[in-house]
Structure 1
């Protein structure tokens, strides 16, 4: 693909991801309350979801995605339910020191599935790709090389943006040391996760 098209796609996708959505909110809340351990697994799941939606849009499978709309609604509900469970755990968690909080993180597999469910449960993602891709390339003539270039951009931008948010949250977390501050941080994270879950539940299919 020509460089201008790739830059247009990259700029548009970056602009969308920089604005915090349910995925960024859930990631930041978890890093603030549990540390950065496990963040790569969550980000990997999020990127996998983005790549799946991109593939659906780029290969013209939107009609198939619409056929299985009920499945994606179920995924969205499951992801929201897990975020609500995490929110409750954070709200009721004791104010432990940072090292103790990092000692018992959720499993990487569970965090991966959480990131995946959040992205697959967001129909706005495929709507974005369906709206953007035709302005960048003629999908009827999209070559395997062009597909690979766009997919690489999706993976790099998504992981880069979420990674930057995770690093910023990890640095901010060091400012909280007292039990009262830790308790407030836990409950703030719980509210943020509950808000992310609510945002997932109220989204409608495009």
Structure 2
């Protein structure tokens, strides 16, 4: 895939990962309660879950692009609309302090933490819907190669752990910030505005 497509995919995906949602809430809540203990295994579960949903979305859309071009184009513009919808939801979502979100129990073993975050991701089909919306706008899926697929896998494998690790460190070291609803509201609106800009870019590409 082109460098431009990879950069746009990476930017929009990073925004989606960083935006407040079940995954971010769980990471912050657990870090507020337990610090950095068990964080690598917990984050690994989210990563594997995202890669599974990405694989389903990419292979399905590639087949659609080759067999039904008109439907594929419709999916592409529907995807841009969905990204705008996500931006609206981020901007208007209520500011809930992280310490009000249930975390996982203390004392869980790494494998249990991994399974918990993996189950949370796989139980949320919105992750695959996001990939279905994003991919047609940034890559020519009818010409998707194994190398292009691998490049996006690498991007996901770098961006998700880095983003969630940043949340873990910040929640561990600056707990008062994440307990403030004002701070959460600013994160929601900042991410929503950035996502709207990204949607416009990919829709007009």
- TM-score (normalised: structure 2): 0.63
**Which residue pairs with 2:159 in the alignment?**
157
Tell me which residue corresponds to 2:135. Answer: 133
Cα distance 1:36–1:61, how it changes in 2: closer, same or farther (>3 A)?
same
The change in CA–CA distance for 1:4 and 1:89 in structure 2 (over 3 A counts) is closer
- Name the counterpart of 1:8: 8
Contact 1:37/1:105 (CA < 8 Å) preserved in 2? Answer: no
Partner of 2:55: 55
**Number of equivalences:** 141
Q: Residues 125 and 88 of structure 1: is their aligned pair in 2 closer, same or farther, counting only changes over 3 Å?
A: closer
Aligned residue for 1:44?
A: 44
- What is the RMSD of the two structures over their aligned residues, measured on CA atoms? 2.6
**Runs of 4 or more consecutive aligned structure 1 residues displaced over 3 Å after TM superposition:** 86-90
Distance in 2, matches of 1:35 and 1:147, equals 35
Counterparts in 2 of 1:43 and 1:62: CA distance versus 1, 3 Å: farther
Q: CA deviation at 1:61?
A: 7.6
Contact 1:54 1:129 in 2 (8 A): yes
Query: How many Å separate the matches in 2 of 1:89 and 1:151?
Result: 28
Deviation at 1:118, TM superposition (A): 1.2
| Residue in structure 2 matched with residue 109 of structure 1 by the alignment | 111
Matches within 5 A, 1:80-91: 87=102
Distance in 2, matches of 1:149 and 1:5, equals 11
Task: Indicate the residue corresponding to 1:197 in structure 2.
Answer: none
Conserved? CA contact 1:36–1:167, under 8 Å: yes
* Aligned-partner Cα distance in 2 for 1:109–1:164: 22
Question: 1:203 maps to what in 2?
Answer: none
Q: 1:56 to 1:110 in 2, by over 3 A?
A: same
The question of whether the paired residues in 1 share the 8 Å contact of 2:30 and 2:103 is answered with no
Secondary structure of the corresponding residue to residue 59 of structure 1: helix
Whole-Å separation in 2 of the counterparts to 1:27 and 1:88: 8
The alignment's TM-score, normalised by the length of structure 1, stands at 0.62
Q: CA-to-partner distance for each residue in 1:157-178, whole Å, 9 max, x for gaps?
A: 11111110001011125x7xxx
C-alpha contact (below 8 Å) 2:54/2:128 kept by paired residues: yes
Counterpart for residue 168 of structure 2: 166
